[in-house]
Structure 1
Amino acid sequence: MARKLSGTIIIATHNAGKLREMRELLAPFGIEATSAGERGLPVPDETGHMFSENAAIKAHAAAQATGLPALSDDSGLCVAALDCAPGLFSADWAVNKDFAPAMEKVERELQKRGATAPEQRRAYFVSALVVAWPDGHEEIFEGRVHGAVIWPPRGEKGFGYDPMFVPDGSARSFGEMSAQEKHGIDWLAAPDNALSHRARAFVALARACLEPR
């Protein structure tokens, strides 16, 4: 039986876009969320070899520092033609948190490999969510969304690589979608239709660890 969350939690992130999405996802459950960035907590070294390992490092560090349960996401873009790069290093490809150079690097590397046709540009986003408690207990959840990368990027919504990723079944990039379209969840009728990787991981988390208001 998974442990339940309630009250106040720490979102173990310094990323404003990720914090915004997590607060929107938590809103229906009456959870009050503050972030590691707002608390001035240091960013721990992400030395894991899997998304879930890096998420756990961040969540446990925040839980130990604050004495509160902490929720962390580690996510990235995996491009098949680039041997699943940037993957774990998705944030590292950005320059001073600017993802325009990161997207340019993805495109440059694809061009080097001759991956210009749509079928050669398959990719997926993955999100690992970890909830950690101060006593060391943790719960782990993962979500993925498959699609393709495009060039040039389209849209100014979302964050990170969103403008260059088009999920399967859509003609628009994540950067062209509203927050509700990208990670909104219809909890009453169709929660399994959640689109984004983070929303899909969150559906699994909510079923295990959260109680509706």
Structure 2
Amino acid sequence: MVRQERAVRTREALIRSAAEVFHHEGFTAASLTLISSRAGVSNGALHFHFASKAVLADAVESAAAGVLQTITGPRGPRAPSTLQRLVDATHELARHLQQDVVLRAGFELSGEACRAARTDLRLRWHAWVTAMVDRAARHGELRENVAQEGVAAAVVAATVGFEVLGTRDEVWLSRRTVSQFWLLLLPTLASHSFLGCLEAEGSAPR
């Protein structure tokens, strides 16, 4: 049991170390020696858990997908509407991207042209946003003349853009930036009966 727990801790340390190195150096330039060194283990221990850098990157993406599932999955008090749930999730995504290097590296790996993403977080985020916009439309939360595809495209383009720009300047991932985006967008897409109840700054306490 002790050996198993140690193996789990080593694997988790390697995934986090890899996320840090992938984030700072990029996948191509990332060194397995640096990753193992930052994790405090030998190269042999790294290769015991991960056969290659590509396999390690897949593990980082998988761990990041778990974080994204926590953000988009059901949790805590339910938002009063689907649109508010979507607003809240964008704030949660931005906050986690600031604080969790594994999630940030997972998103960045999804955009690496030199490798095929096994778990494309940007595609998963797009699919979830699309599903939420569809649900909001079915619940009468959108204006009648609003194109659902356009709403989903705007939200995904903005949030993924914030993620990319936030690599250099975390102001793009701030609550203020995300709130300003929704202050501009919500009046153009939300039906009159729902607009007054929506909080662009998010309904969940920070």
TM normalised by structure 1 equals: 0.25
Higher strand share: 1
Higher helix share: 2
